[in-house]
A = this chain, B = another copy of it.
Amino acid sequence: MSKLKDRPLAEPDREEDAVPCCPPLDSPDLSREDAETMAAMFKALGEPIRVLLFSRVASHPDGEVCVCDLGDLGVGQPTVSHHLKKLRDAGLVVSERRGTWVYYRVAPGVLARMGAITR
């Protein structure tokens, strides 16, 4: 399938600028609010298909993936879109429609946040 890549997504995921949301899990400083934030992230990744989709987005050399390139995961396009929406609603990915297709990339700061889950 063709990709209509007119322009890159506006906001690159500049990990160096990102501030982790919360203290590490193995820190005694985790608050209830932190726990709610982290639980929402974990819950969104609590299904294998979402882990696979997030991984496909996060590992793509272009830094973004066309939804048209996510059709090889053994589930139909509506299912792919449903789970990508869950990831987006949880703030883990951002999307942009360009022409026919929607492109996904990891939301800014998310990889830094994940990298700071433990001390």
List residues of A whose CB falls within 8 A of some B CB: 25-28, 30, 32, 34-36, 38-39, 42-43, 45-52, 54-55, 58-60, 106, 111, 114-115, 117-118
Contact = CB atoms under 8 A, between A and B. Distances in A.
Given A25-B58, A114-B118, A39 B32 contact: no
A51 B26 contact: no
Contacts of A46: 39, 42-43, 46
- Stoichiometry, as copies per complex, reads 2
Nearest to A55: B30
With a 10 A CB-CB cut-off, give which of A27, A30, A106 has the most chain B CB atoms: A30
A45 B50 CA distance: 15
A47 B106 CA distance: 23
A51 B38 contact: yes
